Amino acid sequence: MKLKVFNIDEFDAILRGIVKVVEGCKIDLTKKGATINIGNGKVRAFIKTTCIAIDESEESEETSICFELVNKLIQAVSFIKETSSETEFILETDGIFLSYKGHAKFKLKLDKPERVEQWTTTPLKTELTDLFSFRITQDQIDFLSKYSTFNPNFEVKAYLYLKDNTLYCDIDDKNEARISSVTVPITKDFEGTLANPVIMDLNDMRIFSLISKTQIKVIVTEKCVKVLSFRKTDNTKTALQMIVRILKN
């Protein structure tokens, strides 16, 4: 089966965002685009994109490919970028391998669905009631991260709360490897109200910008936050839907 990549840079950017969250993913493809499923127990996300799809010449309307290690696919895409000037290209899959037959060639073995389906088959909790929503930028997340410990194994708490009609974020770094606490105003533009601070792991907040160069909408519910973002290029559209846990006080 032939798969067409319409924008190699967009596809590469999505894959590099995914590995910030998980090692593996499941990609469900149709002729209209793809849905990339990722999850790790703390985060569950769907990335819908038109940068890759089943080629129009194919009779089949849908297929899936799985990677236990997305880094293998990133290396394959890098190989294409280094050996070809094409921005659009064809990949082929027989259900066992993913191959590229350009000027240079490669063959990449796919993983079985059960290797990644533990988290990628769990549906999003769309029935959760929205309590509060706001928008945050990647630059704001990067700024907060700069003043705290970056260690995925160490929990740095981020506290979101309202004061004087402004949403603030406090970073409390118990490790004190850097400044022990930081307070940053996020926005005055929000909907709803917060009765209590929303507590998150800063390492989880970094994942909000999985799709870079977008404005990120964050919706607070009783049990988690929902994250929505969207990016459009000249010939592709990519949208993110994500659920991220809230910590207990």
For residue 164, what pLDDT is reported? 94
For 110-127, what is each residue's pLDDT tens digit? 998 887 777 677 777 767
For residue 143, what pLDDT is reported? 86
Residues with pLDDT less than 50, the chain = 177
pTM: 0.87
For residue 204, what pLDDT is reported? 87
| DSSP secondary structure letters along 83-133 | H---SSEEEEE-SSEEEEESSSEEEEEPPPGGGTHHHHTSPP-TTSPP-EE
Place of tokens 């088959």: 121
Q: What architecture is domain 132-226?
A: Roll (3.10)
Domain boundaries, the chain: 2-120, 132-226
Task: Evaluate whether 2-120 and 132-226 have a shared fold.
Answer: yes
For 2-120, which CATH class? alpha beta
Q: What separation in angstroms does the CA of 116 have from each of 15, 79, 127, 221?
A: 15, 24, 25, 27
For 97-110, what is each residue's pLDDT tens digit? 999 998 889 999 99
- Nearest Cα to 76, choosing from 108, 52, 112, 109? 108
